[in-house]
Amino acid sequence: MPLPQLRNSPTAARVALSLAVTAALQPVWPSIPASLSGGLPELWLLLERMAAEAGFGVAVGLVVALLSESFTLAMQLLGVHAGYGYASTIDPNTEADSGVLVVLAQLCAWMLFLAFGLERHVIRALARSLDRYPAGGFVVSPEARSAVLMLGSTMITTALRLALPVVGLLLLVDIAFALFGRLHAQIQMFTLAFPAKMLATLAMLAALCRVFPGVYEGLAGQGVAALMRLAGH
């Protein structure tokens, strides 16, 4: 799952956690028939089960990533128009240069993820999948597929709903400065438009911060439903 600073966490702690979880799941380990013990068919069966379990993990990680991508996509849409595309910082996930608003959106989304307690729903989906599917028996049902696709479309529409008010305001600012520049051709309005758009974006985002939790709550509800669908419930 795309958790911030996950790659920078100590390797020994991740190895110990993996071994502890594996030992805790010992009661649900699959039993291999004696006819497959110690041969090439056993190896192929093991690889098949590993691929199925990896597919379930990728599906859960995709759902979790879609929850935060709505805010990230919204900031990418308005960041260039607001003039913040020239300011960059370090992305905590990839350690690469990224826009300031994009990194801010990622951190805000993960704070809302923890504030709503969605990590408990992820763990519950993982636990329920053990009751619904045997080890290596995970398959994507049509209901789960439609739930994930619906979450993806909701993510795009949510990003547009968050970005369009700011983009509309910036369009009005550009029109206003274009009219002033037409009336007073001697005044260089371009130098004033750049900081005005940045300040207008900050003011608009500050006003929209109050609705971010409500928007994220609605998106999180669909995310939890998609997780439960993947877990077979």
pLDDT tens for each residue of 71-118:
888 888 887 777 676 655 555 555 555 667 887 888 888 888 888 888
Kindly report the backbone phi and psi dihedral angles of residue 98, in degrees, each rounded to the nearest multiple of 5, phi listed first: -145, 165
55 belongs to a structural domain: yes
Q: What is the pLDDT of residue 53?
A: 82
Residue closest to 74 by CA, chosen among 106, 96, 98, 97: 106
What number of CA atoms fall less than 13 Å from residue 87's CA on the CB side?
12
Q: Which domain holds residue 116?
A: 11-18+37-230
Q: What is the pLDDT of residue 96?
A: 57
Give me the number of domains the chain comprises.
1
Q: What is the pLDDT of residue 40?
A: 59
Residue 153 tokens read as 């479309």
Of 4-8, 133-137, 139-143, 147-151, which range is least confident?
Answer: 4-8
| Burial bucket for residue 95 (CB in 10 Å: 0-12, 13-18, 19+) | exposed
Residue 221 tokens read as 């509800």
Report pLDDT digits (tens) over 120-145.
Answer: 888 888 878 877 877 777 777 888 88
25 belongs to a structural domain: no
Q: What is the pLDDT of residue 87?
A: 59
Q: Give 7 or 182, the one with higher predicted confidence.
A: 182
Query: How far apart are alpha carbons 221 and 142 in whole angstroms?
Result: 19
pLDDT grade for 18, boundaries at 50, 70 and 90: confident
Q: What is the pLDDT of residue 103?
A: 79
pLDDT grade for 208, boundaries at 50, 70 and 90: confident
Give the pLDDT mean for 37-54.
74
Q: What is the pLDDT of residue 1?
A: 66
Q: What is the pLDDT of residue 137?
A: 76
123 belongs to a structural domain: yes
Please report, rounded to a whole number, the percentage of residues in the chain having pLDDT higher than 70: 79
